[in-house]
Amino acid sequence: MTKLSVNVNKIATLRNSRGGNVPNLLAVANDIETFGAEGITVHPRPDERHIRYQDARDLKNSVTTEYNIEGNPIKKFIDLVLEVRPTQVTLVPDSIDAITSNAGWDTKKNLGFLTEVIDTFKRCGIRTSIFLDPNPKLLESAAKTGTDRIELYTESFAEAFGKGDKSGIEPFIETATIASSLGIGVNAGHDLSLDNIAFFKEQVPNLLEVSIGHALISESLYLGLENVVNMYLNKLKS
């Protein structure tokens, strides 16, 4: 069964829009775990417009499942991860002003940098993952970084699938297959939803984890958070 990690950034966005602590991020994360999710994901950005760095610290003492922190490995982020020591860190090449993640790493151009950062995290016992476009040509250099996993950037699949084009899955199948042969675990995330998650899971081999936030929280506004978490879990069952 592929694990479901729920990104709670949107809960923080809602809280921050009014100030105060409603909704309570820690309580919602705990509820999501109680409803069956196997992980919590946060993606703090330098401007802290949704998840704050203190949120990442507070969640460390609250999350009882796997804890995944995503972000661009600038010094402030690296220091945070080394302090919190989550289960997993996912490295994402976001620009400072990015609204959301929109590209994976060029592992060839950034090989030296990624290798150094990943080594730092792994020496502290933190599992590492690289946000990657579905491009098999980047896997050899990804393997050289020493990363434990890649997270496939799934926007192109979701966009094609929404238009009725299922062929968009093909580069993801190829990339995941080669990654597994190189001993790299496969995660996925970005624009996965109840509409496309079952097909993605069925087609992509050795899928260990999906990280879903925007769609899951949006769907929960209509269907209820507990119900939606369990709908995802049912679609991810082997």
Whether 190 is catalytic: yes
Task: Please report which residue ranges of the chain form alpha helices under DSSP H.
Answer: 9-18, 25-34, 53-60, 75-84, 111-122, 139-144, 155-162, 170-181, 197-203, 214-223, 225-236
The residue among 34, 36, 40, 74 whose CA lies nearest residue 58 is: 40
Annotated catalytic residue within 33, 50, 66, 70: 70
Whether 43 is catalytic: yes
Cβ atoms within 10 Å of 209's Cβ, excluding its own: 24
Annotated catalytic residue within 33, 50, 66, 190: 190
Under 8 Å between Cβ of 18 and 224: no
User: Dihedral of the CA atoms 222, 38, 51, 156 (nearest 10)?
Assistant: -70
- Could you give the residue numbers annotated as active site? 43, 70, 190
